[in-house]
């Protein structure tokens, strides 16, 4: 994993490179960023750069013996720890190392849900157990085999509970040339005793433009489709990749036609859309379609509230909300958003899609045409 393989995060990369050039590599660092921001990929790229035998000004060479082993995650001085779903109390991260390598090499932006699916964990609880904590201490007590540094990357230390206290001494006073990189998403769930012993590296969520450019260039999709997925993902590349595997429709065009039919109270068109395009999408696409609509309604609310600085939309979506906001107010926008959220709830519980979308359509007609709103206490489920 090289820096060039990671998406965006120019400022973070510059900072990490500078620490190596200035020989100010902190032995324990906490990479803190939301899911899909690339914090794990950056940690691996950083470790590879440090251990590279022929590093350039802004990246590892990718060709030396060290880089070749890092590219396969088989370097003897590179260790990983992560949450797993133990079947036995003596299980450690090493028990699942082959699955981990496969998952990371397939998608370096993976989240816990994808990792769970990789292990077929069903409903088991993720954890980093005491056996793993002792294993980490044992690994870090060894001298480096090949590189100047030995590196341990601990993904999601939030899943270290009281077992994490066993690591305090090795984090605070590691053996010489040891690099301890923790990759976390939620600072509030990490033991304060661990946070106080690490140097914080904050990683922001990705920009929509960065995600769109990546998807367009690497996944061979149109820029318009890439922008739509980036908009839906809200800075989470993992979410964008998941959406990509299920998206078969242009949500913008379908949502525009459906909403226009509801605004015009065109019964024939409404039935045509609900029994056709919407009902035949499939559950995942239906949920993504509704999420897209919810996002647009929220942008409409920002537009109506005259907060243009908070609106960051592709050109098509911006043109839509600027026109459609003329027939909306905040109450209507919120009501539509609530109806779409309820629809997602019903889809997840196997509601009949034809009945569900017809019901939602009629509610949108009432909201848009007659300013009539469903009572908040109404939580009926259409099955």
pLDDT value for 250: 64
Q: Which of 224-228, 258-262, 372-376 has the lowest mean pLDDT?
A: 372-376
pLDDT value for 136: 86
pTM across the whole model: 0.70
> Cα–Cα distance between 157 and 81 in angstroms, integer?
9
Q: Which residues on adjacent β-strands are paired with residue 183?
A: 31, 155
DSSP 182: E
The C-alpha angle with vertex 347 and arms to 296 and 116, in degrees rounded to 5, equals 95
Are residues 313 and 321 in contact, defined by beta-carbon separation less than 8 angstroms? yes
What SS3 string covers 9-20? CHHHHHHHHHHH
- Write down the residue that tokens 């949450």 correspond to: 83
Confidence of residue 379 (pLDDT cuts 50, 70, 90): very low
Pull the structure tokens for residue 145. 């085999």
Query: pLDDT tens, 59-113?
Result: 999 899 999 999 999 999 999 999 888 777 788 888 889 989 998 998 889 888 7
Please report, for residues 49, 85, 106, 168, the alpha-carbon distance to residue 153 in angstroms, rounded to integers and kept in the order given: 14, 18, 18, 15
Q: What would the DSSP string read from start to end of 238-303?
A: HHHHHHHHH--S-HHHHHHHHHHHHHTT-HHHHHHHIIIIITTS-HHHHHHHHHHHHHHHHHHHHH
User: Smallest Cα–Cα separation from 294: which of 353, 344, 229?
Assistant: 344
Q: Which residues on adjacent β-strands are paired with residue 154?
A: 81, 182
Is residue 156 classed as helix, strand or coil in its secondary structure? coil
> Cα–Cα distance between 175 and 154 in angstroms, integer?
17
Torsion of CA 237, 242, 244, 250, to 10 degrees: -100
The more confident residue out of 277 and 3 is 3
Report the percentage of the chain scoring pLDDT > 70.
92
> Cα–Cα distance between 193 and 167 in angstroms, integer?
10
pLDDT value for 275: 87
The more confident residue out of 34 and 142 is 34
Confidence of residue 358 (pLDDT cuts 50, 70, 90): very high
- Write down the residue that tokens 């318009």 correspond to: 224
Query: pLDDT tens, 164-184?
Result: 777 887 787 777 788 889 999
Query: pLDDT tens, 255-314?
Result: 888 988 998 899 898 998 888 888 887 777 788 788 888 888 888 888 887 776 666 666
Bridge-based pairing of strands 150-155 and 199-202 is: unpaired
- Write down the residue that tokens 């590599």 correspond to: 25
The more confident residue out of 176 and 55 is 55
Q: In what order do the strands lie in the sheet with 150-155?
A: 78-81, 150-155, 178-184, 28-32, 199-202
Q: What is the mean pLDDT of the chain?
A: 84
Is residue 377 classed as helix, strand or coil in its secondary structure? coil
User: Smallest Cα–Cα separation from 357: which of 298, 296, 269, 295?
Assistant: 269
Burial of 149 (C-beta count, 10 Å sphere; 0-12/13-18/19+): middle
User: Smallest Cα–Cα separation from 151: which of 60, 29, 2, 58?
Assistant: 29
Check pLDDT > 80 for residue 376: no
Check pLDDT > 50 for residue 377: no
How many other CB atoms are found less than 10 A from the CB of residue 287?
Answer: 17
- Length of the chain (residues): 383
Are residues 330 and 300 in contact, defined by beta-carbon separation less than 8 angstroms? no
Span 149-164, average pLDDT: 84
Burial of 348 (C-beta count, 10 Å sphere; 0-12/13-18/19+): exposed
Q: Which range, 42-56, 325-339, 362-376, has the best average confidence (pLDDT)?
A: 42-56
> Cα–Cα distance between 201 and 29 in angstroms, integer?
7
């Amino acid at each position: 994993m090289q820096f060039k393989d990671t998406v965006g995060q120019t400022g973070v990369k510059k900072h990490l490179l500078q620490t190596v050039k200035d020989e100010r590599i902190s032995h324990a660092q906490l990479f803190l960023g939301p899911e899909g921001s690339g914090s794990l990929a950056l940690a691996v790229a950083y470790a590879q750069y440090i251990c590279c035998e022929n590093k350039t000004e802004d990246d590892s060479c990718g060709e030396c013996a060290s880089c070749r082993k890092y590219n396969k995650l088989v370097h003897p001085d590179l260790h990983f720890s992560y949450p797993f779903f133990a079947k036995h109390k003596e299980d450690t991260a090493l028990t699942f190392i082959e699955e981990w390598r496969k998952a990371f090499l397939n998608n370096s932006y993976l989240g816990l849900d994808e990792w769970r699916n990789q292990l077929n964990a069903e409903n088991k609880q993720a954890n980093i157990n005491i056996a793993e904590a002792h294993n980490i201490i044992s690994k870090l007590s060894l001298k480096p085999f090949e590189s100047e540094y030995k590196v341990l990357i601990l993904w999601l230390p939030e899943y270290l509970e009281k077992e994490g206290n066993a690591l305090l001494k090795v984090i605070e006073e590691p053996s010489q040339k040891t690099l301890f990189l923790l990759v976390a998403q939620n600072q509030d769930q990490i033991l304060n005793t661990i946070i106080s012993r690490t140097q914080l590296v904050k990683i922001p969520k990705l920009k929509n433009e960065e995600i769109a450019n990546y998807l367009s260039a690497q996944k061979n999709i149109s820029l318009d489709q890439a922008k739509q997925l980036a908009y839906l993902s809200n800075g989470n590349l993992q979410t964008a990749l998941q959406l990509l595997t299920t998206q078969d429709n242009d949500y913008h065009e379908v949502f525009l036609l459906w909403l226009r039919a509801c605004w015009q109270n065109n019964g024939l068109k409404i039935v045509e859309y609900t029994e056709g395009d919407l009902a035949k999408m499939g559950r995942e696409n239906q949920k993504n379609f509704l999420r897209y609509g919810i996002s647009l309604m929220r942008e409409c609310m920002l537009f109506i509230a005259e907060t243009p600085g908070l609106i960051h939309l592709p050109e098509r979506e911006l043109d839509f909300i600027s026109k459609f906001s003329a027939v909306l107010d905040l109450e209507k926008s919120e009501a539509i958003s609530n109806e779409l959220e309820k629809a997602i709830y019903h889809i997840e519980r196997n509601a009949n899609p034809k009945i569900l979308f017809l019901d939602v359509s009629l509610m949108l007609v009432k909201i848009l045409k007659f300013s009539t709103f469903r009572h908040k206490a109404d939580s009926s489920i259409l099955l």
